[in-house]
Amino acid sequence: MFTYTEEQKLLIHSVSNFAKEYLAPKAEELDETEGYNQAAFKKMAELGLLGITADEKYGGANLGALETTLVMEKLAEACASTTLSYLAHSILCVNNIQANGSEAQKQKYLPKLISGDWLGGMAMTEPGAGSDALGLQSKAVKVGNKYILNGAKTYITNGPSGNIFVVYAKTGPARKDVSTFIVESCFPGFKVSKKLRKMGMRASPTAELAFIDCEVPVENLIGKENDSISHMMKNLNLERITISGISLGITSACLSYTTRFVQERTQFGKPLSHFQMVQERIAEMATQLDAGRALCYAAALRFDSGDLDPTLGAKCKLFTAPMGTRAGLDAIQLLGGAGYMKEYPVERYMRDAKLLEIGAGTNEIMRIIIAKSLLHLKEG
C-alpha cells in the first residue's frame, strides 16, 4: 500500500476541501450550460495549484508528477471537466514553459499564468493530425524578427477563452522539423474559429483555432528551431501520467456514489447491497481503483526520479482510462433507471470518463507505444 508523506496528506486534505466547496456544487450546472468555472481557477491560484510544477520564484509550488496526479484525482472526484481545463493550463502550458522556455519567457508568462490572471492551453491536434502527432500541417516561416504562422488546430482545451497557447508547427521539410511557439490570443492573425460542443467534459471549453498569417515574435520560439520532438514527448508523458489521475478520480466518485446508493436502495425487501451481482461489481470497481492508483503513483515517482521511459504514461492511461469508463457504466447499471437520469451524477461520470480514452493520445496509440518499446521498434 502506498504511504503518503505528511506534506502529501496536507495537500490531499486541502484540495479535497476545495473541490467539495468550489467544484462539486457547480459541476451539474456547468455540465448543462457548457460553462467555465472561472471563480474556481482564481481560488486554485490562491492555493498554489496553477503552477504546481513551476519554480517558486515565479510563484509556483515546485512539486512533482506524483503530487500533480494526487491533485488531479481529488479535483476530478468533484468535477472532471474543470480538472481537464486545469490540466491543460498547469501541465500543457505552464509546465511546458517551465521545463523548456527561456528565462525571459518564464519571467514574462509564468507569473500571469500562475496568478490566474491568464488562462493557458496547448495547441497540437489538427483536423488531419490527431494520433499522428508528427503529421502537422501548420507551418511557421521566419520573416525578419517574426515567424508567420499559418494553420488550424482543433479540440483545443481552453481554446475559447485562453490568453496564451503553446503551439506546435512545422518549420522545415522533414517530418521531425517541429518547433514550439508561445502564441498570445492578441497576436495579429490569431482567431478562435469555432467553439465546439461535446458529449462529456462539457465544463471544459473547447475550440478550433485558426492562425492566418499570425505574427509571432522570434523571442516566442521555445528552445531551438526544428528541435521540439524530445520535449514534446516528455511533456506528453507527464500529461498521460497526470491525466490518469482524472480517471482515478472519476472511478473513486463512481465507487463512493454507488456504494451509498446500493446500501440505501431496497428491492425485493432488502438493500441492493445484499445481492451478489451488485457486490461483484462494487468489488471489481474497488480493486481496479487500487490497481490503477498503484500503477500511476509508481509511474509518477519514476518520472520524478528522471526516468524518461515513454511507456510510463502510456501504461497509466491504457489501464485507467477504460477503467473510468467501465466504472461509469457499472454505476449507471447499479442505479438502474436512476442512473440514466440527469438528476444523478453517474451518467456525467461516464460521459466525462470516455474522453480520457481519446485525449492525450488514443488508447490504441498507447498500445503501439508500449509494444514498440518492448519489441525495440523505431518510429516509422
Which residue numbers are catalytic? 239
Mark 177-212 as b/e (b = at least 16 C-beta within 10 Å). Answer: bbbbbbbbbebeebebeeeeebebbbbbbbbbbbbe
Distances (CA, A) of 101 to 24, 109, 171: 35, 10, 18
Q: Which amino acid is at 41?
A: F
Mark 231-264 as b/e (b = at least 16 C-beta within 10 Å). Answer: bbebbbbbbbbbbbbbbbbbbbbbbebbbebbee
Report how far residue 291's alpha carbon sits from residue 102's, in angstroms, rounded to the nearest whole number.
39
Handedness of CA 333, 334, 339, 344 (dihedral sign): negative
Report how far residue 227's alpha carbon sits from residue 308's, in angstroms, rounded to the nearest whole number.
17
Nearest to 138 by CA among 216, 57, 47, 218: 216
Cell of 255: 465507487
Q: What is the largest CA-CA distance in the chain?
A: 79
**Burial (0-12, 13-18, 19+ Cβ within 10 Å), 142:** middle
Report how far residue 22's alpha carbon sits from residue 15's, in angstroms, rounded to the nearest whole number.
10
Q: Radius of gyration (Cα) for the chain, nearest Å? A: 21
339 contacts: CB under 8 Å, gap ≥ 6: 331, 332, 333, 346, 347
In sequence order, what are the beta bridge partners of 60? none
HSE, side-chain direction, 13 A CA sphere, residue 96: 34
Give, to the nearest 10 degrees, the angle between helix 65-78 and helix 276-304: 150
Inter-residue contact 254 to 327 (CB < 8 Å)? yes
Reduced to 3 states (helix: H, G, I; strand: E, B; else coil), residue 238 is helix
